[in-house]
Amino acid sequence: MSDQATSFVRNDMLPPKEPPSSQVGVVKWARENLFGGWLSTVLTLLSIAAIVYIVWHLFPWFANGVWNADSLTQCREILNGATGACWAVIRVNWLQLVFGFYPPELYWRPILAFVLLFVAIAPVLFPSVPRKLLWFSGLYPFLAVWLLWGGTVWAPVLTLAGFVLGYLVLMAAGSLGTVIATGLTIAVPVLFWLFALGPLDDFLQGVIPLEIEPVASRDFGGFMISVVIGVAGIALSLPLGILFALGRQSTMPIIKWISVVFIEFIRGVPLITLLFTASLLLNYFLPPGTNFDLILRVIIMVTLFATAYMAEVIRGGLAALPKGQYEAADALGLDYWKAQRLIIMPQALKISIPGIVNTFIGLFKDTTLVVFIGILDPIGRASAIRATSDWQGIYWELFLFIGAVFWIFCFSMSRYSMHLERRLKTDHR
């Protein structure tokens, strides 16, 4: 065989040929992603046409924007017939859009409260932040209330003292059994707030007067009011939502019945009717002569509203837990609250995180409805601005601005929830 001439073909492999130009790079990508069939082609062309059209019309409007003017008429004079945005309306009014009528010399207080808000929620949001900061998170609500509304420092301090008192009672009464301990933990602080708070406040204020200038709620406005209502609603609705979710899952018929009626009632009516209840009817339901802050009433109503939704979200998380988890907790001899705290809730809350964050986003967007009961939130400020003779007839600029701010808040919340979902998923495996 060896002398036979082998037909020699080649010693080395040919280098692979370049794929045809239609199979590489931009062309391939475009073929697959833009022109992969007649329908896709049509859609692509339509989309491009739409984008070009929109950019063509909007670009000059943005590019010609006028930033320095005192009125719309002046804007138009500067533009001299060209299309262009009159951003001056934002520049002139933006302090009012952000703070409402809050006294300008005190702007540092809401700003500080806002910055501290991030410090306070950091340990909740990001696990890499030292746990010790959680102490600050617990203190933050009282600090924020004091900073925003001002007044004597003793009222928030004493309110906080009530909580500490409750905790001490819980520790001390632990040996008396769950029911008594829980009862005492609720009763003692409430009694403290009711009867000891006022006199103690006056006394301490007399001894060590620590006071910053008080600001009335009606001076709050703009985005500040949205954030205040939103954050308060979020912070209060989560614990309440957990309670109602547990109530609805409870084996005790009366507790369950109360929770179901509450949740279904709130979910069945529009938020706006609840807000009108806060502004029109609450005074019928309270003892004659009592009258408290409109913003506080709104926060209560918004919280109740979010609570019902939160309860349903958490109930979903509870229902998704295998029954074995409950049984295991029982088998370990844990009492109800311990089982909830150590076994059930950590898992159920983890499952419900996307829903919880969605509820938060919805709540934050819903704060815009307060404009209907006369609170000057950004939309309320915007209509007031549009009513002045200087800015009559302007709307796109204002609503774009307001929409953009809301978008930034809500979008970052939803991104955070996605991030959280991914992180918890890997934890799980």
Partner 1 sequence: MATDSGAPTGSFRLSMLLYDSRYRSLTIQVFAFFVLMFGAAWLVYNTKTNLEALGKPFGFDFLFNTSGYDIAQRPIEYSSQSTHLRAAMVGLLNTLILAVMACVTATVLGVFAGVLRLSNNWIIARLMTIYIETFRNVPVLIWIIVTSAVMSESMPPPSAFRGADPSASMILWDSVAVTNRGVYIPAPLVEHSLGSLNIPGVQLSLDAIAFLVVVALSIWVNRRVLAHATKVQNATGVRPATWWKSLLILFLPAIVLLYAMGFHLEYPALRGFNFSGGIQMRNSLIAMWIGLSIYTAAFIAEIVRAGIMAISKGQTEAAFALGLQPGKTMRLVILPQALRVIVPPLISQYLNITKNTSLGLAVGYMDLRSTLGGITINQTGRELEGMLLMMLIYLIVSLVISTVMNFYNDRVKLRER
Partner 2 sequence: MKKSVFLGTLATAALVAGYASATTLEDVKARGSLNCGVSTGVNGFSAPDANGVWQGFDVAICRAVAAAVLGDPMAVNFVPTTGQTRFTALASGEIDLLARNTTWTFSRDVDLGFTFVGVNYYDGQGFMVNRALGVSSATELDGATVCIQTGTTTELNLADYFRVNNMTYEPVPIETNAEAQQQYLAGACDVYTTDASGLAATRASFENPGDHVILPEIISKEPLGPLVRQGDDQWADIGRWTLNALVAAEELGVTSANLEQMAAGTNNPEINRLLGTEGTLGEMLGLDAQWAQRAIAAGGNYGEIFAANIGEATPIGLARGLNAQWTQGGLMYAPPFR
Q: Which two tokens stand for residue 13?
A: 């492999």
In the bound complex, what is the minimum distance in angstroms from residue 374's beta carbon to partner 1?
A: 13
- Residues 6 or more apart from 381 whose CB is under 8 A from it? 93, 96, 97, 100, 221, 222
> Does the footprint of partner 2 cover residue 66 (CB under 8 A)?
no
Counting every residue, how long is the chain?
A: 429
Q: Are 298 and 375 in contact (CB under 8 A)?
A: yes
227 binds partner 2 (CB under 8 A): no
| Residue 422 site contact among partner 2, partner 1, none (CB < 5 to 8 Å, cut-off depends on kind) | none
Contact of residue 252 among partner 1, partner 2, none (CB under 5-8 Å per partner type): partner 1
Query: Using CB distances below 5 to 8 A depending on partner kind, what does residue 407 bind out of partner 1, partner 2, none?
Result: partner 1
Say if CB 349 and CB 398 are below 8 A apart.
Answer: no
For residue 98, give the nearest of 216, 227, 215 by alpha carbon: 227
To the nearest whole angstrom, how small is the minimum distance from the Cβ of residue 167 to partner 2?
A: 18
Give the up-direction half-sphere exposure of residue 31: CA atoms within 13 A in the CB hemisphere: 7
Rounded to whole angstroms, how far apart are CA atoms 420 and 429? 15
Q: Is the dihedral of CA 400, 403, 409, 415 positive or negative?
A: negative
DSSP H helices, 192-252, are: 197-207, 222-249
Q: Which of 281, 320, 332, 424 is the binder for partner 1 (CB under 8 A)?
A: 281
Contact of 348 with 339, CB cutoff 8 Å: no
Mask: binding to partner 1, 149-188, rule CB under 8 A, as x and -? ----------------------------x-xx--------
- Is residue 112 within 8 Å of 147, Cβ to Cβ? yes
**73 is a site residue for partner 1 (CB under 8 A):** no
User: Of the two residues 155 and 373, which places its CB atom closer to partner 1 in the complex?
Assistant: 373
107 contact, one of partner 1, partner 2, none, CB 5-8 Å limit per kind: none
Amino acid at 325: Q
Binding mask 146-175 for partner 2 (x = CB under 8 A): x--x-xx--xx--x----------------
Q: Residue 228 or residue 356: which is nearer to partner 2 going by CB?
A: 228
Residue 38 corresponds to which tokens in the numbers above? 């007649």
- Sign, CA dihedral 319-323-329-335, equals positive
| Spatial separation of the C-alpha atoms in residues 145 and 295, rounded to whole Å | 13
Based on the shown chain and the rule CB under 8 A, indicate whether residue 32 belongs to the binding site for partner 1.
yes
Among partner 1, partner 2, none, what does residue 258 contact (CB within 5–8 Å per kind)?
Answer: partner 1
User: Residue 136 CA to chain centroid, in angstroms?
Assistant: 20
Per the listing, tokens 């006028």 go with 66
Written as six digits, the tokens of 142 are 């009282």
CB of 200 to partner 1, least distance (A): 27
Window 295 to 324, contacts with partner 1 (CB under 8 A): none
User: What does the binding site for partner 1 look like in residue numbers (CB under 8 A)?
Assistant: 29, 32-34, 36, 40, 43-44, 47-48, 50-51, 177, 179-180, 251-255, 258, 264-265, 267-273, 276-277, 280-281, 283-288, 361, 365-366, 368-369, 371-372, 379, 393, 395-396, 399, 402-403, 406-407, 410-411, 414
Q: Rule CB under 8 A: which residues touch partner 2?
A: 73, 96, 101, 145-146, 149, 151-152, 155-156, 159, 193-194, 197-198, 201, 214-218, 279-280, 283, 286-296, 373-374, 376, 383-384, 386-389, 392-393
